[in-house]
Amino acid sequence: MSASTSTKRRSSSTHHSERQQRLEQNGIYMKTSALLQKASKHLCNTLLMGDRSPSQHPCYPVERTDEVLERLHLLNEARLQRDVTPWLVPSAEHLYFSGCAELGDIGEEIQAEWVRCESMGASKPKPDFAVGLQRSAFNDGELSKLENYATPQAPFLFTPNLAFPFLICEAKTGQIGLDKADTQNIHSASIAVRAILRLYNAAYGSDHEKTQALLGRILVFSVSHNNQLVNLYGHYAVASSSNNRTDGTAEELEYFRYGIAMFSLTMYEGRDRYKAYNFIRNVYDNFASEHLARIRDAVGQFPSLAQRTGLSFTTSDLAVDDGDSQQDSDVTVSQGDSGFKPPAEPASVSLRHENRKIREQMDKLLLQLQKQREDSEQQRKEGKEKLQRQEQESKGQTEKLLKQLEEQRKDSKEQLDRLLAMLTGSKRSKS
């Protein structure tokens, strides 16, 4: 092993340990807990049942899968995500468009930053692939309640279009990359779990039996993979065992993961290659509807927002400063002959309208910023790939030139040897 390779591995190991330490400082642990509910273990076993496989691969014949997987070992993550991820973690929206009407409430994002949530000891998540709920999964009343409730600490929408994600996927090359994918996944999944628990805390209170029933229950799944292995995890929270740490919302929680399965894509002639696909299809078919029902159940506990008009008021709208009462009276008298004047729209209604406009503008700006980031990242990747191609071409040309020079050197040496032999023979004949 070269010194540079050894140094790189030690550096990656150090960074991994530092990331894990930061997560643990925020109550996130890359292990399981004895407080995991048996029902969740049974759920995972149930989701593993079946033998469904994709009807076809997205880009190439299925019989060439081994060749593709072998080649990807030396290529970048973008190729892995393009050539392998789709038949490990199928697109719920593609399945919906292909006839699975029951998946219509499911939405997804590809490499979209979670701009609307607070992170937990790491940078804001930007999963390679995330699956959750669309806005259309909720009716207008539920959306109004959720928008009124949501904050970065207790998000409803994680991106402008994705609500309450329940499946996260990271694809990385190599074993070191797979470890990084696991770390990124547990961070993202813990944020998603926390959002559900905070929703229930707001709806029912932390001591309510429904809130307590979510502790130790798997609420989010994740998939980490490279070109050889696939890791499936379930993510959940339990009551904190430490009394000296709180997140500021009267919650004291710790977040764990449960190792559901690890599959090889290459061993045993690819026998386990599609088990992850089968698991994800079962998550879509059996878990997603339960996830939506769980969210709607909590939202149903929030009080309905009053439908406000210019003629409806609350006591806060009707509050009057005594110093201004005489002036208001004078204005009323002076206008007494001009007919009935409907009261102006309450300030709270105007403020709500302004907030909605600001939120819509922020959504547009966030989408534009995300698009700019994606374009910049794409340009960076394309530039890097172009540079790599140029380096390879230059290397090939250099090797070709060196080979030609070596051949010329050999030819010159042979010619010189023949010339010397001729001269030697000529001298001998003269003597």
10 Å Cβ neighbour count for 186?
27
Within a domain: 332? no
Tell me the three state secondary structure of residue 214: coil
What is the rounded CA–CA span in Å between residue 160 and residue 397?
49
Within a domain: 401? no
Within a domain: 334? no
Tell me the three state secondary structure of residue 28: strand
| Cα atoms in the 13 Å half-sphere on the side-chain side of 195 | 30
The letter for the amino acid at 421 is: A
CA-based end-to-end distance of the chain: 62
Within a domain: 396? no
CB 276 within 8 A of CB 225: yes
Pick from 213, 208, 217, 216: nearest CA to 238:
216
Residues 6+ apart with CB under 8 A from 311: 342, 343
- Mark out the alpha helices in 205-287 (DSSP H runs): 209-213, 275-282
Structure confidence at residue 12 (pLDDT):
54
Within a domain: 350? no
Pick from 260, 76, 264, 258: nearest CA to 171:
76
223: phi then psi, degrees, rounded to nearest 5: -130, 125
Pick from 257, 265, 171: nearest CA to 219:
257
Within a domain: 9? no
Structure tokens at 86: 């789709």
For the chain, what is the total number of helices (H) and then of strands (E)? Answer: 14, 7
Domain interval for residue 168: 16-242+250-301
Within a domain: 77? yes
CB 171 within 8 A of CB 11: no
- Mark out the alpha helices in 300-346 (DSSP H runs): 315-318, 322-334
Structure confidence at residue 280 (pLDDT):
98
Structure confidence at residue 325 (pLDDT):
40
β-strand pairing of 157-159 with 106-109: unpaired
Low-confidence ranges of the chain (pLDDT < 50): 8, 245-250, 307-345
Residue with the two structure tokens 């302004």: 354
Number of domains in the chain: 1
CB 123 within 8 A of CB 136: no
pLDDT tens across 83-96, in order? 899 999 999 999 99
Q: What is the DSSP annotation of 407-427?
A: HHHHHHHHHHHHHHHHHHHHH
β-strand partners of 263: 230
Q: Which helix (H) or strand (E) holds 353?
A: helix 347-430
Within a domain: 114? yes
